[in-house]
A and B are shown apart, each in its own frame.
Chain A
């Protein structure tokens, strides 16, 4: 029965605990489930255990206590290579992710290791670069790229492996507004299951369905993204802060963020609501008369 339930879920984590070799506790009894195709926000202050959890899901850190099930397969030493084909990780610093001398070699690294033919590797590289809007960058050296370009290439290095589950660690950190927007738009186009660890709550509200709030290695809140990420009290009690847009706009914020409203759009939307409210009030008064 449990197995049947796990098959429907892309990621199932049960009672996962981890202590670093220097005895620093990192994760404590972490439990959650993520369904196929969901985009999940992983939030928490620095040192909450977000990155450690992501590394567990890809098998880079071995799970000693607890159980991780990826697409119905329980992660263990024997199948870690197969699991890595299903789970792609985009690390925070693109210079860590892009270790080859050219963009092509970097994006092709995963598919080559998966044993694909030369033709298939080239096709996958081309498609992945197209998806992040950087087709034609194949022969460029990573150290000649801008930070935003490096971030998008980092996403491409994982997309070329066509993972079922995509793990992203701070995808919008250190990016200018233009670069941040391009990354968000790229992420929106991806249909795979995504787990995004970030402090950019506005971005998470825009693209995530669910949210997991972590504090000191524990899961302290799970639920719909709009419920968790707009809960000012909950966020504040775990060392996080709501984005200014929520403070200013209250309940309208989520709607506006998800519909990509600019200041002009917000004004127009408010006028529309005002008009609708006044019309309704007018009708009410008239009906009384």
Chain B
């Protein structure tokens, strides 16, 4: 059985892999929100360059990032196609009854730059830690227990359920189902999905029994072993300072000064 390995690059060595997960999530979320709040296209370009540098520092292979990026790119492509024609403003080009507006182009660029930057930041933030560590960090941040438990169970059992589903599909294809009739194939497929759900439910009952037998009382307690070092504090501060600096650049209009000198 083959699965997408969520922790594939969590064992590399980089400044972000050794970063305390709590500090890492806080400072990266800070940077993400700061980028989302920017409305200056030049500053957004600087932000994108900085996120590319951060992603490069995380040592996550480019191919892995590009593979994940294709879905975001699809969404951004749609935005880039639609917005220049739909946001009214100064007309730049016209194709018969279609008009391309300057404001539309600017808005499409703004959204694309923000989306690319945020998507890129997800890699140094989440792909550099094990998913289990991420769950424990959420628990540490006092997220609702039920939500954390649900995420934890999904992570633990998604592979088990997927194995069961793949086994059932293999059994179906070994009996040549659907070779003649597409409708029959869909009918069998819906049965397989239904049976997988029933089996998951039954497994859930058995898991509950196992939990009860080991003293479960609605609270899933685990031990945390997070350690914040001086290095982590420095890394965290640098990212937060950079996030604030992006807004300082906008507020002080430093880049506009360069415009006046024709640079």
Contacts and interface: CB of A to CB of B under 8 A. Distances in A.
Chain A's interface size range is: 35 or more
A211 to B, nearest CB: 24
Nearest to A81: B215
Contacts of A98: 156
Instruction: Give the dominant DSSP class at B's interface.
Output: helix
Contacts of B2: none
A82 B159 CA distance: 34
Contacts of B132: 101-102, 105, 141
Q: What's the interface size class on B, roughly?
A: 20 to 34
Interface stretch (A110-118, A221-229, A270-278): A110-118
A112 B203 contact: no
B213 interface: yes
Majority DSSP secondary structure for residues of A touching B: helix
B104 to A, nearest CB: 46
B81 interface: no
A89 to B, nearest CB: 5
Interface string A212-248: 0000000000000000000000000000000000000
A108 B215 CA distance: 11
Interface in A93-150: 93, 95-102, 104-105, 108-110, 112-114, 118, 121-122, 141-143
B33 to A, nearest CB: 28
Given A112-B222, A112-B223, A101 B135 contact: yes
Interface in B99-134: 131-132
A114 B131 contact: no
A142 B156 contact: yes
B207 interface: yes
B155 to A, nearest CB: 6
Contact of B215 (A55, A91, A105, A113): A113
Contact of A143 (B159, B209, B222): B159
Interface of A: 55, 58, 60, 81, 84-85, 87-89, 91, 93, 95-102, 104-105, 108-110, 112-114, 118, 121-122, 141-143, 157-158, 161
In order of increasing CB-CB distance, the 4 nearest A-B pairs are A113-B215, A96-B206, A110-B214, A101-B132
Given A96-B207, A142-B156, A161-B214, 17 more contacts: A84-B213, A95-B160, A96-B203, A98-B156, A99-B157, A100-B222, A101-B131, A101-B135, A108-B222, A109-B214, A109-B215, A109-B216, A113-B215, A118-B223, A122-B223, A143-B160, A157-B214
